[in-house]
């Protein structure tokens, strides 16, 4: 039975990480500018945060969930502003062969940057609730061991996806070359996508879209 929760956690971890959103762009940027080890550290940071949010749900840490929900607006704006700043830095930064660092220097910075950005998005909690419900995971009265296996599965699934994505991207970067117009265009595109994601995050509260849709639907009833 515990093994089935591990599998469901793996599936949830992959699904939550699969869309190449702002976190994915930052991971690819760190891979492009600093090398594979920094990209992997960024991916692990996002995976740890995913596992943390899954644990909040599984172990019923209501005080954490309530805090994140109560301060959702502030966290959303701060997250959006951080994304805008990161996007600007990426867009205007010069990319050269000297930028690449294949050692472990400042790897923790790459890890903590994506962890904090992911942590500032409490909407992940509601995404996990939807995923767990779809997979038939009863979070309300879950056995402790099952919850542990589920959280471990989320981390392994998320981390595995980042490992595959970043390794493939890094091999492509090596084949194409860093100073080519293609890679420079990729870098600027990543910066623009992150900036747009930041602007959208600041001005759009996606958690309210469901209520808006229900209100509009009610007009035509």
Residue numbers of the chain with a pLDDT score lower than 70: 1, 19-20, 61-69, 71-72, 75, 90, 93-105, 138-142, 172-183, 205-221
Which pTM value belongs to this model? 0.68
Q: What is the DSSP letter of 140?
A: T
Reference 198, options 90, 49, 79; nearest CA is 79
pLDDT recorded at residue 15: 86
Nearest 5°: the CA angle 115, 41, 14 is 70
pLDDT recorded at residue 105: 61
Reference 184, options 77, 21, 29, 79; nearest CA is 29
Please, what's the b/e burial string for 7-23 (b: 16 or more CB within 10 A of its CB; e: otherwise)? Answer: ebbbbbbbbbbeeeebb
């Amino acid at each position: 039975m515990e093994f089935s929760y591990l599998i469901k956690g793996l599936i949830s971890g992959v699904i939550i990480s699969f869309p190449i959103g702002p976190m994915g762009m930052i991971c690819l940027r760190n891979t492009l500018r600093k090398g594979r080890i920094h990209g992997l550290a960024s991916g692990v940071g996002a995976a740890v945060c995913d596992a943390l949010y899954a644990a909040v749900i599984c172990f019923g840490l209501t005080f954490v969930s309530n805090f994140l929900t109560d301060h959702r607006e502030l966290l959303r704006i701060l997250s959006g502003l951080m994304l805008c700043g990161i996007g600007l830095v990426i867009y205007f930064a010069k990319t050269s062969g000297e930028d690449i660092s294949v050692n472990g220097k400042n790897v923790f910075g790459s890890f903590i940057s994506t962890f904090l950005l992911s942590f500032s998005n409490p909407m992940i909690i509601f995404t996990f609730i939807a995923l767990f419900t779809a997979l038939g995971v009863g979070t309300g009265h879950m056995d402790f061991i099952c919850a542990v296996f589920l959280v471990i599965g989320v981390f392994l699934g998320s981390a595995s996806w980042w490992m595959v994505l970043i390794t493939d991207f890094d091999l492509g970067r090596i084949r194409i070359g860093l100073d080519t117009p293609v890679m420079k265009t990729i870098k600027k595109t990543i910066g623009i996508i992150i900036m747009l994601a930041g602007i959208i995050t600041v001005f759009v509260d996606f958690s309210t879209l469901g209520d808006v849709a229900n209100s509009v639907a009610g007009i035509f009833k």
